[in-house]
Structure 1
Amino acid sequence: MQGIISEIFYQYLKAFSLYKPKEIKIIIIDNAAFHSLSKYTLPDNIILIRVPPYSPELNPCEKIWLYIKQHYKNNVFVTLDNIKQWLYDFVNNKLNNEIIKWIIYNQKLCKPFLDHFNV
């Protein structure tokens, strides 16, 4: 099963690399087993950055999930479909690029990165 999930992740990365193929894509990933791609050759425009083990504070996705959880924690959902609909509406109506940037911004990480690239 694990190899199948890694293969799916690899196929996703290959497909993603074809979107604006001249653009470099930097993807931050955790150490989930399915992120193990040692037997695959990544496309040239895909760069994977792994966060250290046991450091969810460095994973932007974890911060976004925390933000979402803060908004649904006091709701009661009768069915799984209700939860799915709520999440769909929240992501499409409440999350925009500016909010996501605000959620994941980390001065400790951004400053060295921006300094390195003279941005």
Structure 2
Amino acid sequence: MLKLVLWLESTTPNPAKNGLKYWCQDETRIGLKTIERKKITARGVKPIGLVQWNFKAYYLYGAVAPQTGESFWLEFSHLDGQCFQIFLDNLAAEYPEHLNVVQLDNGKFHHSSQLKIPDNILLLFQPPYSPELNPNERVWQYIKQELSWELYDNLDEIKEKVRTFLEEFSSETIASITGWDYILFYRH
């Protein structure tokens, strides 16, 4: 990471005036099918929970900055290159004064030939088949833990629950979940 940061600063002809902002980006599907998790019961008692098998869902695209805990979220009905383009354009517009380095996986739509990467965004692809390298995966686990064993009548209801949760999701909590040593080491 240190070598990347130094290389960017030395090779970017006109680096953003406020420096670099490092983001971890990913997408997740959130839907009406019940998210099952472990339940604590008395010894020998089998846990019981109501389950819904409705497969209606939407996608939450998110980026988090592990150093500061800042976050950026957008909802989409599906997962494709056009939605990803909208996400990148909005992220670039939200943070125009920074060079935004975005770590992401190798999803097919992340490599679309039709993508037009904004000038203040640099994509940094993690190795294939390594979701454990993206701290955003832990954010999704945290959100889905909050939604576990809940039943929703429609997508609007679960969207409102997720929106409320995200509004209350503090930057300190996000930084504690995503601030892994291998990401933060260059600050020391």
TM-score relative to the length of structure 2 = 0.49
CA distance in 1, matches of 2:155, 2:115: 36
**1:107 aligns to 2:188 (yes or no):** no
Equivalent position amino acid for 1:82 in 2: E
SS at match of 1:21: coil
Q: Quote the residue 1:48 is aligned against.
A: 123
Shift of 1:110: 2.2
Confirm or deny that 1:92 pairs with 2:167. yes
Asked which structure has the greater RCO (Cα within 8 Å, sep 6+), the reply is 2
Q: Aligned letter for 1:61? A: N
Question: Would you say the 8 A contact 1:9–1:35 is kept in 2?
Answer: yes
The yes-or-no answer on 1:23 pairing with 2:95 is: no
* Structure with greater Cα Rg: 2
RMSD: 2.4
Residues in 2 aligned to 1:22 and 1:48: alpha-carbon distance in whole angstroms: 17
Pick closer, same or farther for the CA change 1:57–1:15 going to 2, 3 Å. Answer: same
| AA at the equivalent of 2:106 | N
Judging by fraction of residues, say which structure has more strand.
2
More helix by share: 1
Q: SS of the counterpart of 2:101? A: strand
Unaligned runs of at least 5 residues, structure 1: none
Q: 1:8 to 1:90 in 2, by over 3 A?
A: closer
CA spacing shift, 1:82–1:104, aligned 2, 3 Å: same
Give the aligned length: 109
TM-fit CA distance, 1:15: 5.0
Question: CA offsets, 1:77-110, max 9 Å, x none?
Answer: 23322211211111112x1211111111111332
Distance 1:76 1:109, change over 3 A: same
Q: Which moved more, 1:84-93 or 1:9-18?
A: 9-18
The 8 Å contact of residues 135 and 180 in structure 2, kept in 1 or not, is answered as no
